[in-house]
Amino acid sequence: MQNPKRLLGILIVGVCIYTAFLFSSLNTQSQDTPKKAKAEEVDTSKFPTVDVLAPPQGTPEQLIKRQAKGKKYNNKYAPPIEQLNVSYLTNHSLLRLPAFPLNQSSVVVMGEIADAKAYLSEDRKQVYSEFVVNIQSVFKNDSGQVVSANSSVVVERFGGRALLPSGKVAVVAVDNQNMPRVGVKYVLFLTGGKQDESFTILTGYELRNGKVFPLDHVSPNHPMAQYKGQDEATFLSELLSLVENSTASSRLN
């Protein structure tokens, strides 16, 4: 009969060897497995900001129009803006867009953002932003409104920042949707505009230092992602070619 102490010693050594092997295996696996890339986030600090204590500015006619526009963004289910930190809405429409959403747009322009302002909705629970675009080129205009080069147009997008009386800043945004920045050139795909409707940004591309970057954050396999970092001249040539083909096809139909 074997010595119980000897058996116990053998058992302890075996457990130690197995534990060391298991730890080594797990450590090797963790080193070989690449870490999941952190999703790129929209920098909301660049969004236009409205001071909730600032009185409305404009003529009586302008204030009436502003109130009517603000009603579009009312949301009876939203909490008061003072209770928000960051509020994101989910919108899956971006996922279904092609690289050049011409059919989904009434107007496509290239221009520089000259001004940006944020406004509260009529019920003061939401925020939307307006941008003045100095137009350089018009690729498409099916809106019924006059949109031409060397003129300007006001476009809008849901979201923005609100400076609260407490000094806190509340943010309202849509997942993966960014905002144009003043002084930067973009190609913008716009919706609306019919019967004096406002133009709304569907999506767009930023043109920076001769390169192209999607305005909104898209996944690597999204059609728009193929143009990230592409040469601006090539991008505009492909867009213009697609516009011409679309126009010719519409005439034939």
Query: Domains of the chain: which residue ranges?
Result: 44-252
Is a pLDDT exceeding 70 seen at residue 56? yes
Query: Across the strands, what pairs with 211?
Result: 208, 231
Overall average pLDDT of the 205-227 stretch: 96
Which residues lie below 8 Å from residue 82, measured CB to CB, with a gap of 6+? 52, 164, 165, 166, 170
The pLDDT of residue 122 is above 70: yes
Read off the pLDDT of each residue in 58-84 and give the average, rounded to a whole number: 92
* pLDDT value at residue 23: 35
Please check the confidence at residue 3 and state whether its pLDDT lies above 80.
no
pLDDT for the residue 251: 62
Q: Is the pLDDT of residue 26 over 60?
A: no
What are 18's two structure tokens? 């197995």
Closest Cα partner for 145 from 214, 186, 105, 193?
193
- Specify the pLDDT at position 212: 98
- Residue found by looking up tokens 């497995």 in the block: 33
Its CATH class, for the domain covering 44-252, is mainly beta
Rounded to an integer, what distance in angstroms lies between the CA atom of residue 227 and that of residue 171? 29
Res 19: pLDDT: 41
pLDDT at 112 over 80: yes
